[in-house]
Structure 1
Amino acid sequence: MKTTYFFAGICTALFSLNAFSHNIQPAMPLPKVAVNQVGELVLKGQEITYQPWQSGGLAGKVRVIQHMAGRSSVKEKNEALMEAIRAEKFDASVYQTTTIINADDALVGTGMFVKSSAEKGKKANPHSQVILDQQSAVKNAWDLKEKDSLIVVTDKNGKVKFVKEGKLSPQEIQTVIGLVRGLIR
């Protein structure tokens, strides 16, 4: 009888872990996805325009990719990592931060604030890539958790070198910074 309960407990634990895990694999490219509605923010002078975006275009530079729900509480989760990246002043010719904001996973009635915040962020960091996803295309393609954040580091060939959902620990932040330093050399 104890064996049956133990086995059932193990199966439940494994199922729950798999039910909430992403489908991003180390040493592989990110699953392909396109964001056609709204999409990538492009800065022309002080004006923001939008263009379709595809994950296939991520190769060519080392990247830290941040996907987050369009909620300020989620944005704050990995702000320490973003501050560490800004402090490093990585060479924009070989490195780029890509932020994907899931505006579909925002609090009801805050859509305009999410869009405005994304535009301000793009203007403050014009060398960064910002994508506004209105239909959860990336979240669904990468099988991500709702109301959460994801950090991925890719090499210049677009292969995943680090991935974690949720808030990074101080040690993980240092791991990401060290990994990016090594990849851009």
Structure 2
Amino acid sequence: MRRIKTLALATALISTFASAHNLSNGQALPSVSVEKHGELTLNGDKIGYETWNSAGLNGKVRIIQAIAGRSSAKEMNAPLIEAVKVADFPRDKYQTTTIINQDDAIWGTGGFVKSSAEDSKKEFSWSSIILDKSGAVAGAWRLQDESSAIVVLDTEGTVRFVKEGPLDEAEITQVIDLVNKLMK
């Protein structure tokens, strides 16, 4: 009986570590490209898509929000996004990048996810929005299903903060303070 409990615990721990993201403070993001859909572009009122690559994230301080294509994942860190809006960071030094994993949407809602991303691009034209149809980013970064990951990058593309799941008030303050510090 003891051997079964030990084996069950070991299996649970291995599963936990196997599903953990591979993003580390002080390191660059694992390289990834999104070719199916990609970064949304806006030309007048018309939405287009371009291949997106994580190598293009250098140059500005960024908060990356990598979310499943579900409203529950979007809402998970909505308080952080509201804090970013209030902070009104200068667009020449800061960029919000939202990566939406359309492959992790509730069955049958992919069209709604795409439409919502396009509406967001029209409303927040300066934001960088990537629609990842096949889940390339979640796979490369080993992100949890049905969740939200927040990553802060400095201008060199180095990870300075990372967390999967909802941020609490202290973490939201930490992220806003960190972005202000990195822009100086």
Same fold (TM over 0.5): yes
3-state SS of 2:117 partner: helix
1:19: which partner in 2?
A: 18
Alpha-carbon displacement from aligned partner over 1:62-90 (angstroms, at most 9, x marks no partner): 00000000001110000000000011110
1:54: which partner in 2?
A: 53
1:105: which partner in 2?
A: 104
1:8 Cα deviation (Å)?
A: 5.6
1:154: which partner in 2?
A: 153
- Structure 1 segment 31-180 matched on structure 2, within 5 A: 31-180=30-179
- Please tell me the residue identity of whatever aligns with 1:73: S
3-state SS of 1:24 partner: coil
Q: Which portions of structure 1, spanning 4 or more consecutive aligned residues, are displaced by more than 3 angstroms?
A: 4-14
3-state SS of 2:37 partner: strand
3-state SS of 2:129 partner: strand
3-state SS of 1:67 partner: strand
Q: Aligned-pair RMSD on alpha carbons?
A: 1.7
Distance 1:40 1:54 in 2: 9
1:26 Cα deviation (Å)?
A: 1.0
Q: Given the two structures, how large is their TM-score scaled by the length of structure 1?
A: 0.93
Q: Given the two structures, how large is their TM-score scaled by the length of structure 2?
A: 0.94
Distance 1:177 1:16 in 2: 33
- Please tell me the residue identity of whatever aligns with 2:136: A
Structure 1's unaligned 5+ residue stretches are none
1:27 Cα deviation (Å)?
A: 0.7
Distance 2:58 2:149 in 1: 18
Alpha-carbon displacement from aligned partner over 1:76-116 (angstroms, at most 9, x marks no partner): 00000000001111000010000000011101111111011
Structure 2's unaligned 5+ residue stretches are none
- Please tell me the residue identity of whatever aligns with 2:108: G
- Please tell me the residue identity of whatever aligns with 2:114: K
% same residue: 51
3-state SS of 2:50 partner: strand
CA 1:5–1:175: 2 relative to 1, 3 Å? farther
Matched residue pairs, number? 184
